Structure 1
């Protein structure tokens, strides 16, 4: 997105702060505004009929959430909660759609973003069908670190938002016990460190090699 277009988007809407754990968008709600994450992070979850939660993805500063409801004028398909303290801009759907009509490069970027999220979902489906449960956990861990990881001074990678074992289990399509077993094994190999609601990958190259060796 070109700087003038980005600045035009930033000029829309009103600023709102969400504290960690606070609901940004609620599944099934009929509101249609778009949320632009300026700083912080958010988790996108789907609530099942049985009342459980499935983590669909993680979003960070610069990402949009709620764009589907704005474009389709349909109820929210997922719930979005702040993973950390998040500074956002709430943009009315009419203003957002008008912005897209006036800025072709923004429409292209939005299409690219939606396509990437679809590719992520497709990879999860393929992994669930073709790989063992332990491999799925490792593959999800590698992908989230490569996509969203922050490089520390010591060369370790961590996420800018807390991800629990339940979160990793949801993304991998496995049970929490499987995640705990896999992370314990990776920690013994010196590939990860486990902290409260945080996994730090100390050797990303070794994790890549491990997955390459496992096929």
Structure 2
């Protein structure tokens, strides 16, 4: 991991493309930029590992991060694929406990790191801004509850459609239009949804046949954003023929 340099003005404008940062008070936005440092990771390099005690608040500014871990059985898990300009690390900032997952660079990746101790000192002097940190944690908690409900209630094809919409929306954090091109390999989608690659491939082809997306090499092109949005908002797809199994 090595330091990087970017214009503060350019970085501030880019960070405002993400809803949480854009809604923070200007004073807190400025503090995150002032305290933060940009670091470059090479493909496969860990940002931090499960059990690490450091607690920086982090934001991806280029590339991507995989959040997950390797279980005792040797099976890999993938909880999230974090892209610009999404934030992570707020839980350890709040409770001071070790990191709960491994976070690894997917390709060359640049991350803004805001050191925990320095940020805590600043928040002690400006306690009103803890509300912004709480909003970030609460948004992640809502996503987690929604994902658990989806596992219990939705067939795989609709869970997949909803996950693709969430990724296109930056997990609800994008201030602009949803992305139509998603760089997310099928192996990683399968890990995120807890199924085999063959199963996820079948589900993707099913959505492609419906005209919702088009599969390209290494990317997924989203064609029917309205259908994906409707699934995300609660449409159960009951009027569609067929469908994948859980």
Shorter-normalised TM-score: what interval? 0.7 to 0.9
Matches within 5 A, 1:37-52: 37-52=60-75
Q: Which residue of 2 aligns with 1:63?
A: 86
Please list every run of 5 or more consecutive structure 2 residues that lacks an aligned counterpart in the other structure: 1-23, 239-246
Stretch deviating more after TM superposition (183-192 or 99-108): 99-108
Q: Which residue of 2 aligns with 1:92?
A: 115
Stretch deviating more after TM superposition (162-171 or 55-64): 55-64
**Residue number among 186, 198, 210 corresponding to 1:165 in the alignment:** 186
Stretch deviating more after TM superposition (56-65 or 3-12): 56-65
Distance 2:198 2:50 in 1: 28
How does the TM-score come out when normalised to structure 1? 0.82
The verdict on how the C-alpha distance between 1:8 and 1:146 changes in structure 2, with shifts beyond 3 A counting, is closer
Distance 1:59 1:46 in 2: 14
Q: Which runs of 4+ in 1 moved over 6 A?
A: none
Question: Does structure 1 retain, via aligned residues, the 8 Å contact 2:67–2:103?
Answer: yes
Residue 133 of structure 1 pairs with residue 156 of structure 2: yes
The verdict on how the C-alpha distance between 1:37 and 1:115 changes in structure 2, with shifts beyond 3 A counting, is same
The verdict on how the C-alpha distance between 1:201 and 1:23 changes in structure 2, with shifts beyond 3 A counting, is same
Tell me how far 1:41 sits from its aligned partner: 2.8
Residue 121 of structure 1 pairs with residue 121 of structure 2: no
Aligned residues: 210
The verdict on how the C-alpha distance between 1:176 and 1:163 changes in structure 2, with shifts beyond 3 A counting, is same
Question: Does structure 2 retain, via aligned residues, the 8 Å contact 1:71–1:93?
Answer: no
The verdict on how the C-alpha distance between 1:176 and 1:31 changes in structure 2, with shifts beyond 3 A counting, is same
**Residue number among 102, 110, 133 corresponding to 2:125 in the alignment:** 102
Tell me how far 1:77 sits from its aligned partner: 0.5
Distance 1:98 1:61 in 2: 27
Distance 1:213 1:113 in 2: 28
Distance 1:91 1:206 in 2: 38
Deviations 1:187-212 (A, max 9, x none): 23332121233211112113345773
Tell me how far 1:117 sits from its aligned partner: 0.8
Residue 192 of structure 1 pairs with residue 213 of structure 2: yes
Q: Which residue of 2 aligns with 1:53?
A: 76
Distance 2:152 2:59 in 1: 34
Partner SS for 1:214: coil
How does the TM-score come out when normalised to structure 2? 0.73
Tell me how far 1:60 sits from its aligned partner: 3.2
Question: Does structure 2 retain, via aligned residues, the 8 Å contact 1:13–1:90?
Answer: yes
Partner SS for 1:71: helix
Partner SS for 2:67: strand
The verdict on how the C-alpha distance between 1:3 and 1:138 changes in structure 2, with shifts beyond 3 A counting, is same
